[in-house]
Amino acid sequence: MNVPSVDFLPLGAEGAYATKSKPGSAGDFAHWLDQEFTEVNDKLNQADDLVRKLTLGEVDNVHHVMIALDQARISFQLLTQVRNKLLEGYQEILRMSV
């Protein structure tokens, strides 16, 4: 049975703050956000690949596939919520009177 490895670390746990710019700068946040988008995309692609392999009979462990799917779904939902909060904050700033 050939079981591909799946990264089960929480979103951003593998070094979200490992940047070269000064702490607190906009570059830190932009770099972190770019990393998170990349990680979520990788998880979604990995889950899609596992589903494809399951349907072709290349993977026998359904539990492994379901865990990868749930992890990708939860990561995507978290990223969506972060995006929503950022948009709400931006809209609140636009509504402020100067």
* Structure confidence by residue, pLDDT tens digits, 3-12: 555 554 454 5
pTM tops 0.85: no
Cβ 32 vs Cβ 18: under 8 Å: no
In a domain, 17, yes or no: no
Closest CA to 5 of 61, 55, 52, 57: 61
Share of the chain above pLDDT 70, in %: 73
The Cα 36–Cα 50 span in angstroms is 21
Collapsing DSSP to helix, strand or coil, 12 comes out as: coil
Per the structure, the count of domains in the chain is 1
In a domain, 69, yes or no: yes
pLDDT digits (tens, 9 = 90+) for 15-51: 544 445 455 666 888 898 899 999 999 999 999 999 9
Structural domain that includes position 60: 26-95
